[in-house]
A and B are shown apart, each in its own frame.
Chain A
């Protein structure tokens, strides 16, 4: 079981309020991603749940029990750090088994569990190596192994893939998601990468300025962004002050076909997609996305026609207008 509930959780460092009252209900077994710009408090919120920081107010319930005064190790959570935080002088076996050793488990049981975890993560050939003898992806796997071996109620991930190269990041993204589904353990995952958020999450929590802006499934956030910030967060989007349109919902037409007129300042040809960054004069810069190749280049004049069904309207405060 790993149901985590936050009730008006607050955190301030001196006069600075980092978390301004967070309420959240994380169902057992779900994969929740905290996403937001740097400094939005997502890592702080994760550390509060982990117990590495003390809350300034509010409650954190794990399976219905308030844990704000419980030390980290007793909360039954395990954490994967951004730097992996492997113990450099211990072998892979020692790293994965350290938590079990501290819990006072007998040696043969530790060995059995460590080897099972290593087998799950394809680490068996490296069990006797030191972390410095491993590649980035392998170190990442050791950090995950250290987390799963303790059979925690929930995993906490703090931007775990940000130190990997792009190809490895995609691979580990899939592996982490698969592993989480296979184990059925609750996971909280902090990232600033929208793609990771969209692809890995059951539910996304969008944080901004220490507040939870929106909580919902990836597609809910995509279809009905609660405010301008969420739009900006979920897709490359430039809009006028009060309406937003996603790049893929702008039809690209010859100049004069209605819609918004502008000059292409940059065209990105990815083969599968074409992104146009259009200088629309008083409207500012607009981004349009075309599926497939489009032979337009910088300096060409175009019209951008929004899909009327998919225009998001926002009030002056940036909050969505419904209906």
Chain B
């Protein structure tokens, strides 16, 4: 973009794409803001009227809101911790030269390609089912009472499923980072008398700081909106135990048919996501600076 002509050309060529993206983004947002100020119930069509911020007051003072906010944060935090704490050793293992390494890598990455609904169904019916599930069979094998996962530890069960889905992503990012670690640095540490553990703490882990940051930021974006796994397994229950913000909005809109309140909830979710992002960038974002 050196000269004025190329700048002008670049801008005119970019305009349609940027314009389309802008419209794509702004129309739903504008409609959501508009709906959030209406009394708009699908059960009572034709009665829409402007109610100001009443929907926001209703959504924020709903006791379900605080419960689901807490569930959202616990879910995001736990899945992040699990995927990173398990992803690092997994990536270290996959970085070792073993026979059939490519096949093993493919297998490890596979869960990421399974649709959330499918993996949730597999976990619910084949693994965690208290009567016919694999875990129940294993428990009975050693003489224990099978755990009724979705009744006894519902949120933990959802966390387990979501962590299983996101572990490959974390492993993959960390593995590529490990492969970019300069071999001579490890050798220099070896010459300096560092043990395997010291090399990991002083050389490998600092090298992984940046990819870990990337994993945290990207996973957070998606984990704030986990929905299918909850919808398929627990339906937000028992009670509100597995209802997160995304599921709460869904239940407002399509169980209680209250579009106005659901729109307000959607906007609240946007604000929450921004608050989380703000703190995340403050805490871990400096790792991204070159």
Q: Do A and B bind each other?
A: yes
Q: Point out residues on A near B: beta carbons under 8 Å.
A: 50, 52, 71-74, 77-79, 81-83, 85-90, 98-99, 102-103, 146, 150
Bound: A103/B191 CA distance, A? 11
Contact residue among B187, B202, B203 (Cβ-Cβ distance under 8 Å from A52): B187
Is there an interface contact between A87 and B202, defined as CB atoms closer than 8 Å?
A: yes
Given A79-B191, A87-B203, output 5 extra A-B contacts at Cβ < 8 Å.
A74-B193, A78-B191, A85-B182, A86-B188, A88-B207
* Contact (A79, B188) CB under 8 Å given A87-B203, A102-B198: yes
A–B pairs, 27, beta carbons within 8 Å: A52-B191, A71-B190, A72-B190, A73-B190, A73-B192, A73-B193, A77-B191, A78-B191, A79-B191, A81-B188, A82-B184, A83-B182, A83-B184, A85-B185, A86-B188, A87-B188, A87-B189, A87-B206, A89-B207, A98-B189, A98-B194, A98-B202, A99-B191, A99-B192, A102-B193, A146-B188, A146-B192
- B205-219 vs A: 1/0 string, CB under 8 Å? 011010000000000
Closest to A104 in B: B193
Is there an interface contact between A52 and B190, defined as CB atoms closer than 8 Å?
A: yes
Within the complex, what minimum Cβ distance (angstroms) separates A307 from chain B? 46
Within the complex, what minimum Cβ distance (angstroms) separates A69 from chain B? 15
- B12-54 vs A: 1/0 string, CB under 8 Å? 0000000000000000000000000000000000000000000
Q: How many A-B residue pairs have CB under 8 A?
A: 59
Bound: A73/B191 CA distance, A? 5
* Contact (A103, B185) CB under 8 Å given A87-B203, A89-B206, A98-B202: no
Is there an interface contact between B192 and A85, defined as CB atoms closer than 8 Å?
A: no
Contact residue among B184, B194, B206, B207 (Cβ-Cβ distance under 8 Å from A102): B194
Query: Within residues 141 to 185 of chain B, which ones have a CB less than 8 A from any CB in chain A?
Result: 182, 184-185
When distances are taken between beta carbons in the complex, the residues of chain A under 8 Å from B192 are 73, 98-99, 102, 146, 150
Bound: A52/B195 CA distance, A? 14
Bound: A166/B34 CA distance, A? 68
The 9 A-B residue pairs whose C-beta atoms are closest, nearest first, are: A73-B193, A99-B192, A85-B184, A85-B188, A89-B206, A102-B193, A81-B184, A85-B185, A102-B194
Is there an interface contact between B198 and A85, defined as CB atoms closer than 8 Å?
A: no
Is there an interface contact between B203 and A50, defined as CB atoms closer than 8 Å?
A: no
Is there an interface contact between A99 and B184, defined as CB atoms closer than 8 Å?
A: no
When distances are taken between beta carbons in the complex, the residues of chain A under 8 Å from B198 are 102
When distances are taken between beta carbons in the complex, the residues of chain B under 8 Å from A83 are 182, 184
When distances are taken between beta carbons in the complex, the residues of chain B under 8 Å from A81 are 184, 187-188
Bound: A52/B184 CA distance, A? 10
Within the complex, what minimum Cβ distance (angstroms) separates B118 from chain A? 41
Within the complex, what minimum Cβ distance (angstroms) separates B190 from chain A? 5
Closest to B206 in A: A89
When distances are taken between beta carbons in the complex, the residues of chain A under 8 Å from B202 are 87, 90, 98
Bound: A88/B287 CA distance, A? 13
When distances are taken between beta carbons in the complex, the residues of chain B under 8 Å from A78 are 191
Bound: A264/B190 CA distance, A? 54
Bound: A87/B192 CA distance, A? 12
Closest to B209 in A: A89
Contact residue among A52, A88, A103 (Cβ-Cβ distance under 8 Å from B193): A103
When distances are taken between beta carbons in the complex, the residues of chain B under 8 Å from A50 are 191
Closest to B199 in A: A102
When distances are taken between beta carbons in the complex, the residues of chain A under 8 Å from B203 are 87
Residue of B188, B193, B202, B206 most packed against chain A (CB within 10 A): B188
Is there an interface contact between A99 and B193, defined as CB atoms closer than 8 Å?
A: yes
